[in-house]
Amino acid sequence: MQQFEYRVVPAPRKAEKARGLKTTPERFAHALSQTMNDMAREGWEYLRADTLPCEERAGLTGKTTTYQNMLVFRRAVARMADAPAPSLILSEPVAPRLGSARDLDAVPSTEAARVPALGPAREEAAKG
């Protein structure tokens, strides 16, 4: 099943002036088609127009409901199953290589290795 993502934009509120367009309906249709063509260039498909209520403040404590005209667009989203799986090419084997017992002699013992003491710094450590 194909999945979509949606985008909702406000419909144009007023007609834009354009050469050759004289009436308000012609100008408004031009503004609407401009919006729809801009969205189509970005890959969005027009789905529908909705008028939705929006509650707004009126004064300090009052509320009023206005209605907003919105244009709904959608475009298909590639699902993970549809996307090709990345291929993994290993140049070396996955299993870690373990050293031999001979290599253990090369590792210094804990007594021979100098490990700094934990805690506040001492003056002799700062000098050395």
* 127 in any annotated domain: no
The SS3 call for residue 67 is: strand
Rounded to two decimals, the pTM is 0.57
* 65 in any annotated domain: yes
Q: What is the pLDDT of residues 93-120, one digit of tens each?
A: 666 666 666 666 665 555 555 666 677 7
- Taking CB atoms within 8 Å and a gap of at least 24, the contacts of 103-110 are none
CA–CA dist 32, 12 (Å, integer)? 6
With 0-12 CB in 10 A as exposed, 13-18 as middle and 19+ as buried, what is 70?
middle
* 39 in any annotated domain: yes
116's CB contacts (< 8 A; 6+ apart) are 125
If one compares 34 and 92, the residue with the highest pLDDT of the two is 34
- Tokens for 113, please give them: 């290795």
The answer to whether 4 touches 75, Cβ cutoff 8 Å, is: yes
The SS3 call for residue 14 is: coil
Give how many domains the chain has, as a whole number: 1
CA–CA dist 15, 73 (Å, integer)? 21
* 121 in any annotated domain: no
* 128 in any annotated domain: no
The pLDDT score that the predictor gives to residue 15 is 85
Q: Where in the sequence is the domain holding 41, given as residue range(s)?
A: 3-77
Q: What is the pLDDT of residues 14-51, one digit of tens each?
A: 888 889 999 999 999 999 999 999 999 999 999 999 99
